[in-house]
Amino acid sequence: MVHLDSRGIVAAIEIVVYVPLAFLSVALLFKYGFKREGWIYLLILSIIRVAGGITHIIAENQANPSTNLQIMVMIFETAGLSPLLEATVGFLSIVKQSAFDDGHPLHKGMRLLGLLATVALVLTVIGGEKIGQNTTNGNTSEINSGNTFRHIGVILFAVQFGLNVLVTFYMWGHIHMIMKHRRTLLKAITFSLPFLGVRVLYSVLSAFAPLGIPGVDSGSPSLAKFNSQHGDFGIWLIMSPVMELIVIALYVAVGLATPLQNDYAIGRSGSPAEDTTRLYPSAYAPNATHGPSSSSVFAKPANQYAFTDGSAYAPHAPYPYAA
């Protein structure tokens, strides 16, 4: 018979919740395309949470779980933050499509943000593995080294979150350049930031909490309640799984409800669809930076659009503008 403590019950609930979220993420991938944008990271996060829940339950029901199993539990706990942050970066990339010139520094900056989350994930995984492998043999030097890797990794996560916030507010400062449905996605990102911030904060506090390993003096005793394995259950529940679930549920709901592909739609009647409007005094004024060029709209109405960023949402067989 399976016996679970409070954290084990949460692990079981996560399996039940994230399995359908994984299927919804797959549906969003088919809806918007298998590109390295936000949707793929929602699927990765769902897989990590399901695998982590299963691993946690297995470890909890073993009298003496192996070191490798304990390492896996620790890694899965930390690894979920990376795809959540990368999903946010991906959605911000969707928001900026066709809004800025090709040479705008924001494009390169977004790619660097994604790389930053990957580096942070690698460092935290290396740190967790070094701690786990050296816990049984009491190699305090290697344990402290692993803890340093974890510290650097979570600090990079915090830096990336701060940059995400700055990019989000930069987008709001240029809201008139962003297409209609992408403004809805931007609102969802903005609404998710406080919850995502709490999740990032917990990871930072947890990384600097005492490890609880005999003979290892690491972390501040005042942060012991933030230890993700042995700390306060209520704090962990609210600041980690609940915050994470709110963010991913919000992203999935907006993805299902918002027709982002319609931002590039052209009405079958031959005139631009209402969904293509931006907040310009003249809603359909051609602009080479934000949509079709004047030559593509009026001189060659049947040609493909001249979108500035080669977006995946450009229509395959556009309808011509009316004369």
Residue 238 pLDDT more than 50?
A: yes
Task: Express each pLDDT in 119-134 by its tens digit.
Answer: 998 998 888 888 877 7
154/259 Cα distance (integer angstroms): 35
Cβ atoms < 10 Å from Cβ of 173: 9
How large is the greatest C-alpha to C-alpha distance in the chain, in angstroms?
80
- For position 314, what pLDDT does the model report? 44
Q: Which of 227, 258, 289 represents a domain boundary (last residue)?
A: 258
Q: Are residues 235 and 278 in the same domain?
A: no
- For position 245, what pLDDT does the model report? 92
Are 251 and 188 contacting, i.e. CB atoms less than 8 angstroms apart? yes
Q: Which of 50-59, 148-157, 217-226 has the lowest mean pLDDT?
A: 217-226
Residue 310: band (very low, low, confident or very high) from pLDDT cuts 50, 70, 90: very low
Domain assignment present for 48: yes
Enumerate residues 6+ apart whose C-beta is below 8 A from 182. Answer: 94, 95, 97, 99, 260, 263
Are 80 and 43 contacting, i.e. CB atoms less than 8 angstroms apart? no
Domain assignment present for 282: yes
Q: Which of 21-25, 75-79, 316-320 has the lowest mean pLDDT?
A: 316-320
Residue 158 pLDDT more than 90?
A: yes
| Percent of the chain whose predicted confidence (pLDDT) is above 70 | 75
Are 218 and 147 contacting, i.e. CB atoms less than 8 angstroms apart? yes
Q: Could you tell me the residue range of the domain that residue 269 belongs to?
A: 262-323
Q: Which of 242, 258, 274 represents a domain boundary (last residue)?
A: 258
Tell me the mean pLDDT in the region 310-321: 41
Enumerate residues 6+ apart whose C-beta is below 8 A from 41. Answer: 83, 84, 86, 87, 90
Secondary structure (DSSP) of 78-100: HHTHHHHHHHHHHHHHHHTTTTS
Residue 319: band (very low, low, confident or very high) from pLDDT cuts 50, 70, 90: very low
- For position 35, what pLDDT does the model report? 62
CB-neighbour burial class of residue 20 (10 A; exposed 0-12, middle 13-18, buried 19+): exposed
Work out how many domains the chain is built from and give that number.
Answer: 2
Residue 78: band (very low, low, confident or very high) from pLDDT cuts 50, 70, 90: confident
Q: Are residues 59 and 160 in the same domain?
A: yes
Token pair listed for 144:
């402290």
Residue 105 pLDDT more than 60?
A: yes
Domain at 148, CATH number = 1.20.1070
- Helical segments of the chain, H only: 6-32, 38-60, 67-79, 81-95, 105-135, 140-173, 180-207, 233-237, 243-257, 294
- Looking at per-residue confidence, does 17 or 75 come out higher? 17
Q: Are residues 295 and 226 in the same domain?
A: no
Q: Are residues 269 and 231 in the same domain?
A: no
Are 241 and 249 contacting, i.e. CB atoms less than 8 angstroms apart? no
293/20 Cα distance (integer angstroms): 42
